[in-house]
Chains A and B, each alone.
Chain A
Amino acid sequence: MTVKGVGGRLIRKEDDRYMRGRGQFIADVRLAGMKDVAFVRSPVAHAQIRGIDIPDTLRHAVFTAGDTDIKPIRAVSGLAGFKVSEQPPLATGKVRQVGELVAMCLAGTRAEAEDIAAAVSLDLEELPAVSDMLEGRKPGAPLLHESWGDNIFLETLVDADLSATARTAPIRVTREIRTARQSMAPMEGKGVVAYWDSRLEQLTVYSSTQMPHIVRTGLSGCLGLDHGRIRVIAPDVGGGFGYKGILSPEEVCVCWLAIKSGLPVRWIEDRREHLIAGTNCREHHYLITGYADRDGKLLGIDCEATVDSGAYSAYPFSACLEAAQVASILPGPYDFPAYRCKTYSVATNKCPILPYRGVARTGVCFAMELLIDAIAREAGLEPHEVRLKNLVRPEQMPFDNITKKHFDSGDYPECLRRAVAAIDLPAVRDRQKRGEPDGRLIGVGVSIFCEQAAHGTSVYSGWGIPMVPGHEQATARVTPDGGLELRVGIQSHGQGLETTLAQVAHQVLGIDPEKISVVHGDTGYTPYSTGTWGSRCMVMAGGAVTRACQEIARRAARIGAWLMQTDEAKVTVRDGMVVGPSGSVTLGEIAKVWYLRPQDLPNDADPGGLETTAGYKPVRDSGTFSYAAHATVVAVDTEIGAVEILDYVIVEDGGVLVNPMIVDGQVYGGTAQGIGTALYEEMPFDEAGQPLASTFADYLLPGPTEVPELRIIHMETPSPYTEFGVKGIGEGGAIGPPAAIANAVNDALRLLGAELCVSPMTPRRIVDAIAAVKESGARRAAGDAA
């Protein structure tokens, strides 16, 4: 019998419509009389708006901040010292980033709306821009938000006195490490279609979002409209990765205009808007020092981390999501005695930084894992040996680390050992000794990290994030023919939750997943939820579905027992049936009685019937800890700076896997993105704050030929705190690759003495790093001669 419940490798239920092109995405939503919006956007990064000139003939079709009563988007961190930014959906007074919305143009088609936008001219007085976070931190930098007095959203400090460690540590390694600004680049951009339903007196909003309920709450605030007057529907969503986990200014504007005009109004983001004005993420800078013994045992870490937060605090995660996490997760999977970390979230004239798959962890893993390799080189040890000396050990589980992160379960050293074995380290070392016929240099690199997921109430309130998840709820409803409907407030956009939640329900009730439908992404149908982010859905929505189905099972058992005229204590629910001592009734028969033949029920039947909503939190809300080791072999063409990935191994422990095939898919996709971070993706800016990659010709994404065949090996250590022992695994793939690949590149360049501490490792950066070593060598030689 094929396993259809937890652990089953079920084909995804949603794939049939996707593979046949029958999904319905935001741009497929067509409403009668619908109009299109194009935005007039700021062409400069920082300016005072002196005037907006709209030709008289077009005045009726153009809307600026002055025409609206929209309230600004505010995402206020609860952490002490946070400075509040107000993001007016349509700019007022100043513009603070290229692409900021200044006016909204309405027409019958997008092309006509763009014609109108082109006819609007802006009178802007350009101001000096902050295009670099380190410059922006300095006193005297131009100010984005004048009342602040500086450009710092927030400083945090995890303090400790490391002076003794610094004095005595045999090894001290300092690195300056930087990760580029990126774009999440989901296949589908953002988009919104809104109309006022005059029968329901309700604003109906179709939005390409990961969190319909949060968008509804945000809209309610900005538009001054009761929640009950707003329904948000996320149709099929073509990838989010965090970009669709926000309330976007465009969403607010389009909704306002739909109410104002009484017409269905839509805006579909184009790729240029997407790249320059919408999707920015990841930009970190680290000045990090590691102290260690000669045998590689870590003695302490001292770090100063800066995050380029962009111009505004985005709703709901705020400008400090990244930096606030950095301080608490930098120690990663390591156990060491002394830690200090100072962070800065700096406002710059760029678009607001948004969460992206891996959120902060990708940068943190890059910084920590490059540092570990630098320590290994200093100590003359194999990098994985240094890691094995410091990783949290299985016998320490559950383990509270130096920043009080609570590791639930796992065997981290074993995970690393398996990765090193699978990549066959001795064979690579031999190959390096032999040299390559084509002159390329071979390098091997590893990274290991943990992925805190499904973090709950205490973690989010601790980070000061304005959106704090509580209990996750699910509604389960048996249909009169014995099918099951699940209603969840999360949104599935590639995670396969229509399948995995059905598998979980099947595990409890035994109803065939074919007969289970999962309703999600609609505030009109589903319980409130913070939505899909932070690798939380399997743990949280899965847990809620389990609880709801357990309650259904109890109620069905009671009816079933009555029908079989036996004692409730003597029946069990399995395989879609209530089974008693001398017979069984199917859930279908029970449903038929409840809905269609109530006369067959006893008078004291449970009035709740076969529908229930249940809430869920894991035993602890500190999050599950998945972890993985990535190991890779690369070949570096030092003359032209090209990197080819020859082998790539991932050993991943994501707890109990509900559907291993879907987990593999998540790991593949994430790793492809991680490869992009490592080698290709970068959103550069010039000094005036102009983004320099406005099409995919300049913003390079890895394609199928750049992603090697990945070898995935699973470990399955259950979480002690969740239903079925599941853990969140949605982001790990995107966390490990930049560090593993950089370590491999640096391993290859080791003999040349060159080292890169920046992502992406572009050909120019690789060639420059090698040239810099040659130059300093030449200078030294010249100095010796003199």
Chain B
Amino acid sequence: MKPAQFDYERPSSVAEALDLLRREDLFVKVLAGGQSLGPMLNLRLVQPDLLVDITGIPELKRAEPDSDGITLGACITNADIEDGRAPDVTGGVLPAIARGIAYRAVRNRGTIGGSLSHADPSADWVSGLAALGAEAIIRGGPQGDSGRRTLPIEDYMVGVFEAALEPGEILEAVRIPRLSARARWGYYKICRKTGEFAHAIGAVLYDPERSVCRAVIGATESTPLVVADAAFLFGDRPSDNLAATYDTAAAARLLDRKGMTDPFERQVHLAALRRAVDRASLQ
């Protein structure tokens, strides 16, 4: 279990990193915290010619709050979020999710950008950030170094282990909206042991001041099921007591549409969402 031979570069700017990524003669792979890529290299599931370590790029480590939200550089680590080094604009959602990821040693290195780009269906950020209505900021592409495009997080993960990155692009940052003081949220991760990847995730965000009601059922076989307008899950009348009007049958129909037929999978995913709703509810 040792990786095949590769070269290694550690550029200090996004422009330099993009230069390396544009090399067509080489199979180039971005390395962030290495917590997912490392094992894949060791198992020889990927055998790149060149690793571009982006953790030495200051632009990717920034955490810039403003009145509407915060932009977190792709190399912000789970531990940065857990410890509050990256300011929280979400009333505790982000640190709560971060704390439940893996073990501290993994959180010290694993990055928010790496997690999203790795696009593991069981990962926490692909579901958690989708519930918050976050966006992926992608840098590079046809317009070169200054090229930038933005996608809703749920569109950044396009399939199992597949992110919406074109050749010569990297994920630069994540834009997370600031929640209002009245916002209510719940996040429920079902896993068998501490630090394990999720078997089911339920997430709900109700922020009436911003007219937001979102829900996510995650850790499915593929991309999470993201409901951008989730009012119908609450009889079209979401309130601070979300649980009071929560409609399990409506949630079950979402699973039908997703094609989830296994009774056990359905039961635990519905349980995860309902428990997230319970957590979000003022009772």
Partners in one complex: yes
Q: Using CB atoms and an 8 Å cutoff, list the residues of chain A in contact with chain B.
A: 109-111, 114-115, 118, 270-273, 639-642, 679-680, 695, 697, 700, 702-703, 705-706, 762-764, 767-768, 771
User: Which residue of B4, B195, B196, B267 contacts A111 across the interface (Cβ within 8 Å)?
Assistant: B4
**Cβ of A768: which chain B residues have Cβ within 8 Å of it?**
264
User: Which residue of B4, B193, B271 contacts A702 across the interface (Cβ within 8 Å)?
Assistant: B193
Q: 16 new A-B pairs (CB below 8 Å) besides A109-B2, A640-B190, A764-B264?
A: A114-B44, A272-B43, A639-B268, A640-B271, A641-B264, A641-B268, A642-B192, A680-B193, A700-B196, A702-B193, A705-B193, A763-B199, A767-B267, A767-B268, A768-B264, A771-B263
User: Which residue of A271, A640, A705, A771 contacts B268 across the interface (Cβ within 8 Å)?
Assistant: A640
State the CA gap A265–B199 with chains docked (Å). Answer: 43
State the CA gap A111–B6 with chains docked (Å). Answer: 11
Q: Please provide the 6 A-B residue pairs with the shortest distance between their CB atoms, ordered closest to farther.
A: A111-B2, A270-B1, A705-B194, A639-B271, A640-B268, A764-B264
Q: A640-B271, A763-B199, A771-B263 are in contact. Are A115 and B193 (CB under 8 A)?
A: no
CB-CB contacts below 8 Å: B161-208 with A: 190, 192-197, 199-200
Chain A residue nearest in CB terms to B103: A703
User: Which residue of A110, A114, A639, A703 contacts B193 across the interface (Cβ within 8 Å)?
Assistant: A703
Q: Are B197 and A697 in contact (CB under 8 A)?
A: yes
Q: Are B5 and A640 in contact (CB under 8 A)?
A: no
State the CA gap A616–B193 with chains docked (Å). Answer: 46
User: Which residue of A272, A639, A703, A706 contacts B1 across the interface (Cβ within 8 Å)?
Assistant: A272
B3 within 8 A of A: yes
Q: Are A700 and B1 in contact (CB under 8 A)?
A: no
State the CA gap A115–B3 with chains docked (Å). Answer: 9
Interface size on B, residues (CB 8 A): 23
* Complex A-B: 8 CB contacts under 8 Å: A114-B1, A114-B4, A115-B5, A642-B192, A700-B192, A703-B193, A703-B195, A762-B192
Chain A residue nearest in CB terms to B199: A763
Q: Are B268 and A763 in contact (CB under 8 A)?
A: yes
B39 within 8 A of A: yes
Contact with A along B230-266 (1 / 0, CB 8 A): 0000000000000000000000000000000001100
State the CA gap A764–B265 with chains docked (Å). Answer: 9
B42 to chain A, nearest CB (A): 8
**Cβ of A111: which chain B residues have Cβ within 8 Å of it?**
2-5
Q: Using CB atoms and an 8 Å cutoff, list the residues of chain B in contact with chain A.
A: 1-5, 39, 43-44, 190, 192-197, 199-200, 263-264, 267-268, 271-272
By CB atoms of chain B within 10 A, which of A111, A680, A700, A762 has the most? A111
**Cβ of B263: which chain A residues have Cβ within 8 Å of it?**
771
A169 to chain B, nearest CB (A): 38
**Cβ of B1: which chain A residues have Cβ within 8 Å of it?**
114, 270-273
Q: Are B268 and A695 in contact (CB under 8 A)?
A: no
Q: Are A767 and B264 in contact (CB under 8 A)?
A: yes
Q: Are A640 and B267 in contact (CB under 8 A)?
A: yes
**Cβ of B2: which chain A residues have Cβ within 8 Å of it?**
109-111, 114
State the CA gap A114–B1 with chains docked (Å). Answer: 8
State the CA gap A447–B222 with chains docked (Å). Answer: 42
Chain B residue nearest in CB terms to A705: B194
Chain B residue nearest in CB terms to A273: B1
State the CA gap A473–B39 with chains docked (Å). Answer: 46
**Cβ of A641: which chain B residues have Cβ within 8 Å of it?**
264, 268
State the CA gap A702–B195 with chains docked (Å). Answer: 11
Chain A residue nearest in CB terms to B274: A639
Q: Are A700 and B193 in contact (CB under 8 A)?
A: yes
Chain B residue nearest in CB terms to A767: B264
Chain A residue nearest in CB terms to B265: A764
State the CA gap A115–B190 with chains docked (Å). Answer: 39
State the CA gap A61–B137 with chains docked (Å). Answer: 49
Chain B residue nearest in CB terms to A679: B192
Q: Are A680 and B192 in contact (CB under 8 A)?
A: yes
By CB atoms of chain B within 10 A, which of A271, A640, A642, A771 has the most? A640
Chain A residue nearest in CB terms to B188: A640
Q: Are B199 and A695 in contact (CB under 8 A)?
A: no
**Cβ of A271: which chain B residues have Cβ within 8 Å of it?**
1
B77 to chain A, nearest CB (A): 21
Chain A residue nearest in CB terms to B190: A640
Chain A residue nearest in CB terms to B197: A697
**Cβ of A762: which chain B residues have Cβ within 8 Å of it?**
192
State the CA gap A706–B193 with chains docked (Å). Answer: 7
State the CA gap A444–B77 with chains docked (Å). Answer: 43
**Cβ of B272: which chain A residues have Cβ within 8 Å of it?**
640
A111 to chain B, nearest CB (A): 4
State the CA gap A641–B1 with chains docked (Å). Answer: 35
**Cβ of B44: which chain A residues have Cβ within 8 Å of it?**
114, 118
State the CA gap A118–B4 with chains docked (Å). Answer: 10
Chain A residue nearest in CB terms to B1: A270
A737 to chain B, nearest CB (A): 16
Chain A residue nearest in CB terms to B2: A111
A281 to chain B, nearest CB (A): 21
A752 to chain B, nearest CB (A): 15
State the CA gap A641–B3 with chains docked (Å). Answer: 38
A271 to chain B, nearest CB (A): 7
**Cβ of A705: which chain B residues have Cβ within 8 Å of it?**
193-194
**Cβ of B5: which chain A residues have Cβ within 8 Å of it?**
111, 115
State the CA gap A194–B190 with chains docked (Å). Answer: 47
Chain B residue nearest in CB terms to A36: B2
State the CA gap A530–B192 with chains docked (Å). Answer: 39
**Cβ of A640: which chain B residues have Cβ within 8 Å of it?**
190, 200, 267-268, 271-272
**Cβ of A703: which chain B residues have Cβ within 8 Å of it?**
193-195
State the CA gap A703–B190 with chains docked (Å). Answer: 16
State the CA gap A217–B150 with chains docked (Å). Answer: 68
By CB atoms of chain B within 10 A, which of A679, A703, A763 has the most? A763
A778 to chain B, nearest CB (A): 13
State the CA gap A700–B272 with chains docked (Å). Answer: 21
B102 to chain A, nearest CB (A): 11
Chain A residue nearest in CB terms to B200: A640
**Cβ of B199: which chain A residues have Cβ within 8 Å of it?**
763
**Cβ of B194: which chain A residues have Cβ within 8 Å of it?**
703, 705-706
A158 to chain B, nearest CB (A): 39
**Cβ of A115: which chain B residues have Cβ within 8 Å of it?**
4-5
Chain B residue nearest in CB terms to A269: B1
A669 to chain B, nearest CB (A): 18
**Cβ of A771: which chain B residues have Cβ within 8 Å of it?**
263-264
**Cβ of A114: which chain B residues have Cβ within 8 Å of it?**
1-2, 4, 44
State the CA gap A114–B5 with chains docked (Å). Answer: 11
State the CA gap A562–B87 with chains docked (Å). Answer: 83
**Cβ of B192: which chain A residues have Cβ within 8 Å of it?**
642, 679-680, 700, 762-763
B120 to chain A, nearest CB (A): 10
State the CA gap A115–B6 with chains docked (Å). Answer: 12
Q: A110-B2, A115-B5 are in contact. Are A695 and B267 (CB under 8 A)?
A: no
